Every structure is written in C-alpha cells, then in structure tokens.
Amino acid sequence: MRPEVALPVLLPLLSGALSLLFWRSRPVQRFISVAGNVALLVVSLWLFASVLQDDYVTMQMGSWPAPFGITLIADMLSAVMILLTALIGLAMGIYSLASTGRGHEKFGYYPLMHLLLAGVAGAFLTGDIFNLYVWFEVMLVASFALLILGGERAQMEGAIKYVTLNLLASVIFLSAVGLLYGTVGTLNMADIALRMNAAEHRGMVEVLAVMFMIAFGIKAAAFPLFFWLPASYHTPTVAVSALFAGLLTKVGVYSLFRVFTLIFDQSMGYLQEIMIWGAVFTMVTGVLGAAAQYEFRRILSFHIVSQIGYMILGLALYTPLAIAGGVFAIGHNIVVKTNLFLISGITHRLQGTYQLKKMGGLFRTRPWLAVAFFISAFSLAGVPPLSGFFAKFVIVRAGFEAEAYVATAIALAVGLMTLYSMVKIWNEVFWKALPEENDVPAEVTPSGDDGRLIKPSLWMMYLPVIVLAGASLMIGLFAEPIMLVMNTIGEQLMSPQGYIEAVLGVTASADDALLEALDTEEVSP
C-alpha cells in the first residue's frame, strides 16, 4: 500500500469536488485552490522521495492482481512530471487569484483547473493503457471548458479547431487501444510489453505503433499535426494559456516516451527515421511560424511547437543519453514556457494589449519584469548557463554520438532562430520607447461581468513569475544533480524490465503468470 502514488490524482479531484460544493463562494474556492495546490506539491515531493529511494512505486487499484486490475505506477519519469505538474499548478493557483476575472471564477474556473490537474496527474501515473485514455479525456474535457470560459468569438473559433482535432486524436488512440487488445489480449502496459514481443502479426504491431504515433503526435502538437495549437492557445484568459502551454502538450510527449520505450521497444527501423524527421520539421516549422508573428502569445504558441521538436528528437535518437536530454527538455520547457506566458499576462495587464507593435518601454518602468523575461527567454533559446542550454547540450551531444549530423545541425540552427524571436519580443516590449499613439491605461484590470473592477494585486502575478524564473536559473546552475536524475530516467526507460517487474511482480513470462493467476485465484475479470 503506497498512498503517495494515488494521492497526486486524488488530491486535485478532492479539491475540485470541494470547490464545486462551494460554487457560490468565491473566497472559499480561491482558498481551496491555493491550499489544494500546496498539498499537491507536498505529496509530489513525497512521491519523488519515495521513487528516489525505491526506483519504482506501485499500487494496484482495488487490490486486483496486476494484469487484471488497474495499476498506478511511478517511475522516475512519472515522479519528475508529477513534481513539475504540482509546481505549475501552484504557480497558476496563485497567479489566477490576481489575473482571473470574476466572470470566469463564477463559472467554475477553479473546479475545472483542479480537474485538469487530476487528469494530467492520472495520465502520468497510470500503468494501464485504457486508463491512460480515460485520463486523457478527463484532461481534455476540463481543458475544453477552460478554453471557452468567457465566450468571445476568437475563443469559439479556436475551440472548434482544438476540440475537433483533439477528439480525432482521442478516437485514433481509442481505436488503437481496441486493436491492441485484440492483438495481445491485455490492457496493462507492462503486460502488453511482455506479450508484444511474442505477437504473431508483425504487420499489426507496426500499424499499432503508427496509430499511437499519430494519436499522441496530435496531442503533443508535432509536425504536421500541430495546427490546432497556434489557432487556439492565445485565445483564452492568460492563466489558462499558461497552464495549457506548460502541461497539456507535454502529456502527449510523455505518452510518446512511455509507449515507444515500453511497448514498441524494438528498434522500429523506418519509424525511427520518420520520428527524427518529424521532430526536425516540428522544430523548423514552429520557429519559422513564430518569426512571422507579432502577437505576444502567438509567438509563444509557435515556440511550444518548436520546442516539442527537441523533446521528440530526444526520443527518436533512442539512446539513454538522448532520452535523458529529451526529458530534460520537457522539464525545462514546462517551467520556462509557463513563465513566458505568465509574463505576457503581466505585460497585458500593464499595457492593455498583446500586440508587440503597440507595446514598449517596460524596461524603464518595470526593470525586474524585464529581468524575469530575459532569464526565461534566453533559457528558451538555450543560452548558457540557463536551463535550456543543458537540455539542448545533452540532446545535441547525443545527436552527434548517434551520428545524426543533419538533424543535430538543424536543432542548433533552430536555437538561433529562437533567439531571434525572443530578441524581437525583448526589443518591442521592453527596449523600445512606448509608441505615442498608445494611450496606456493606468492599470488594465480584469472586470467581472457585473462591471466592477477587481483591485489590481500585481504581486500575486509577480510572485509565480519570479519563482519560475528562479527555478530556471537554478536548473541551469545545479544541472549536475538534475542530470543524474535524468540519466536515471534514460536508463529506466531504455531497460523496461524493471518497470515490468515492478508492475507484475514476476520475472516469468506473462503467459505463465496469467495461467498461474487463473489457476490459483477465482478471477472474474
């Protein structure tokens, strides 16, 4: 019985349910939001400590033995992702107190946020492929509702694309799960991994691999499946944008890492080639898309796509070092990208627009905000000694070791292009003088639907920004212990034997275990 594996899922569900109970009381919901997210962070630290000690922490739901019931399992990758989720959840919880309008809060902003976190945490922890689908849907439904809170035209248009393509991905995922069950006769991922090697229809296995690649590719916003992302991420309220940017696409990337290291672990030949070039094109199209934009959040949205390319490249190179680098990129990107969106929210509050052309002069008036942006932006571009540098450094080194010279060279060039976009934002928003035609409102405040302005409390917006910028700096300065953790992840993912043993509790082949279980226990599936 290891409660710390289940608690990261249960706590947000509990906070969400409690906030629903206090539907009419804004202050209570705000309190629950912060308290629940603090508790989530504490639990995730507990989980991380357990995983550091024991490598794998598992829990069988309802005490059903492994291939029959649903398993929750945390390896190092899950624990790190949960830790980052909790960190972002807390940052968003505090930021939302100041940035979210009363109209949003009245229509269930906080319960939805908790539900989203529960879905994300569930997806990171589950060891059952159908359960993964269910958590994806929990996450998606919450994100749909958060995306259209407010109901403006742009939000509706963005939401239609977002909903359609994500549902399409879900259906492809679900079909793949169905076919997978038909092929190997189990849904437990560790059990699937064992039986996959013995599967008779190699053609079927390849079809399944491609289906999972497409389904998770859409969710991760990889080339050429990313078009829903830049069409929708800049439309909702900024705290929601930041939460999506930090977590949602990363769940897709996490699933790619999990499925392609655990289930389809044989060298997939041409699939690996496709993945490398998919990653390269993701980087290039994302960064070129960003270069053409002059809206703060749209630039950042395209950079999400571009950064996804690095993570997938880490997976596609398929060496322990490359995977460690890919996971490093995920972690670094969650922190930095969320922070950039949060900063765009503050500049919007200060200057009333997201259009770079209309902004300016913030370096003079808000030097510390400029410093926070500087750290995050240069970290994103991969300037040493910030967190992005080490992520890129490890991937590039792994790329050279794997002799993927062209892909690696392109990855380096994309870093330069990222720098160009970030310098563009820096010049327009912070460096140049404020354009004269922009009558800056003293402080743009979100107003409730009753028209009352909410008292601006900028420190609640600054606090998460400073903490996350500090986190990025710290990841860069203390890269060595973090790299040790990443190396553990790389080794664990590349040798899934430990994962399988942790889930099934046996070293024997799955068929023996299954027969044994059928013989000795009265099993009603």
Residues in touch with other proteins (CB under 8 A): 130, 133-134, 137, 140-141, 144-145, 148, 151-154, 156-161, 163-164, 167-168, 170-171, 174-175, 177-179, 181-183, 185, 187, 231-232, 234-235, 518, 522, 524-525
CA distances in angstroms from 87 to 34, 81, 191, 305, 418, listed in the order given? 12, 10, 32, 22, 25
What's CA 266's distance to the chain center, in Å? 26
CA dist 191 and 213 (Å) reads: 20
| Minimum distance from residue 203 beta carbon to other proteins (Å) | 15
Angle at 122 between CA 223 and CA 89, to 5 degrees: 80
Residue with Cβ nearer other proteins (161 or 424): 161
How near is the Cβ of 312 to other proteins at its closest, in Å? 24
CA 350/CA 342 separation, integer angstroms? 13
**Dist. CA 404–CA 399, nearest whole Å:** 5
Residue 68: strand, helix, or coil: coil
CB of 450 to other proteins, least distance (A): 21
Give the whole-angstrom CA distance, residue 35 versus residue 14: 12
Question: What is the nearest approach in angstroms of other proteins to the Cβ of residue 167?
Answer: 5
DSSP state of 433: P
> Taking the complex as a whole, how short is the minimal distance between the CB of residue 146 and other proteins, in angstroms?
12
230 or 388: CB nearest other proteins: 230
Residue 231 Cβ, how far from other proteins at the closest point, in Å?
Answer: 5
Please state the closest distance from residue 6 (CB atom) to other proteins, in A.
19
Token pair of 520 as six digits: 């000795």
Q: Which two tokens stand for residue 75?
A: 């390896």
Distance in angstroms (rounded) separating the CA atoms of residues 52 and 44: 12
Distances in whole angstroms, Cα of residue 423 to Cα of each of 245, 431, 473: 20, 10, 19
